[in-house]
Chain A
């Protein structure tokens, strides 16, 4: 439980500051997001990381591309990035996508907040993108609504983010019968769900003595946990296969989810992480002129890279 570290750390997070996404070529990715999603394609100067290219979004958040990605985007996982935009902007984006031959999917949703008007596509690097309708007057995407990662142990993740760091649970999937009844509709082709949200389980596959191939296959919802991060949401999906984690000594890497905080919040969170025995890199103070004042890098219990950062406009 959380008592040793206090439960208020999670509330110190203002939201997602930026997402670092792996792509084959950052400049090519920036052109796609500028041309298709209406993002300002001019790279931010003095971005503190090598081989990364940062674009500013109207919300003040940033979308960052890291060159050298392998193209292994784990297409069957629940990993995705969701951006907000107006219905009008989305119509324009849909028209642009049609021009590039990229298919749009209307996957149904488990999380009620996303149920209305679903819209998904995959960018040229294999990253799954979701557009969520949001107020505003921008011609393209306005900001990052939520991001989703995957994890091999959902209990570890919840113990870490909720019990230890104090983030609030927004929604859970896979904890009630209704989710399982609904999974059967998916298996029967009556519920078009996004990759990573459903799975076929072969019951008791490895039971000693069982006849090989005799186990029953059943459709199930994949376990999902959605956390409130200030004004943003982080989705965590159970990994349905084993994935090689980065080397344990690495606290800083990509893909990476960066959360914005003020300086006091970052110091409090750093203490909480340190007390929990989490390996940290930083706080790293960035050069004057960079969009970030300071960053702290770490990994969650399942190897996902995170960054806590103080935006430069909070410098003072």
Chain B
């Protein structure tokens, strides 16, 4: 067993890096950590083109694709298309997320109530400007401590 402890980061492929940065920062509250391939040294090394973002303790990269991806019809707001990133908020803040999505005119589906015996409470589904499927939800188990966050430094272990 590899005994992994958590997800380190993920990548979201996008068709427009600036548009993606603005969406994830202005709608979800992410912050730009760093960008790759905007320096001579990155070009000489042939690195990928991406921006690393942080969202609270979560790190993810919006990766510019160098070819067009298949994107489901814009009318579909809930789906996976291989992956769906789902972000968690406290139950008390969930109504604010709905208000915010309305305010910035991001089409969404929901809120959708999940079964009471499961860990999820309510979800709202929407997409980023490229068409990646996203979800924000609150969890019924939000007060449960499954594990403590380990200090980083050598890959996440304590």
Contacts and interface: CB of A to CB of B under 8 A. Distances in A.
B67 interface: yes
Interface string B103-147: 000000000000000000000000000000000000000000000
B45 A176 contact: no
A199 B42 CA distance: 13
A240 B17 contact: no
Interface stretch (A8-16, A147-155, A257-265): A147-155
A238 B46 contact: no
Contact of B46 (A155, A172, A174, A203): A203
B18 A175 contact: yes
Contact of A177 (B35, B38, B43, B65): B65
A128 interface: no
Contacts of A222: 43
A177 B45 contact: no
Interface in A242-275: 242
A180 B66 contact: yes
Contacts of A203: 46-47
Contacts of A25: none
Nearest to B18: A175
B45 A181 contact: no
Interface in B33-67: 35, 37-41, 43-47, 49, 64-67
B15 interface: yes
A174 B45 CA distance: 17
A172 B37 CA distance: 14
Most buried by A among B16, B49, B64: B49
B37 A223 contact: yes
Interface string B12-39: 0001111100000000000000010111
A144 B53 CA distance: 39
A240 to B, nearest CB: 6
Contacts of A202: 46
A206 B43 CA distance: 11
B64 A175 contact: yes
Interface in A170-195: 172, 174-178, 180-181
B17 A176 contact: yes
Interface of B is mostly: mixed
A200 B40 CA distance: 13
A199 B40 CA distance: 12
Contacts, number: 72
A181 B67 contact: yes
A58 B98 CA distance: 57
Contacts of A152: 39-41
Interface in B66-100: 66-68
A258 B41 CA distance: 29
B46 A204 contact: yes
A220 interface: yes
Contacts of A300: none
A222 B42 CA distance: 12
Nearest to A222: B43
A103 interface: no
Interface centre among A199, A238, A241 (most CB of B within 10 A): A238
Contact of B15 (A176, A201, A205, A223): A176
Given A205-B45, A205-B46, A153 B64 contact: no
B17 A238 contact: no
A118 to B, nearest CB: 25
B35 A155 contact: yes
What 8 A-B pairs are tightest by C-beta distance, nearest first? A180-B66, A203-B46, A201-B46, A154-B38, A176-B16, A177-B15, A152-B40, A175-B17
26 contacts: A152-B39, A153-B38, A154-B38, A154-B39, A172-B18, A176-B19, A177-B16, A177-B65, A177-B66, A178-B15, A180-B64, A180-B65, A180-B66, A180-B67, A201-B43, A201-B46, A202-B46, A204-B47, A205-B44, A205-B46, A218-B46, A218-B66, A220-B49, A238-B40, A240-B44, A242-B40
Interface of B: 15-19, 35, 37-41, 43-47, 49, 64-68
Given A177-B65, A204-B47, A222-B43, 8 more contacts: A177-B64, A177-B68, A203-B47, A218-B66, A220-B66, A239-B40, A241-B40, A242-B44
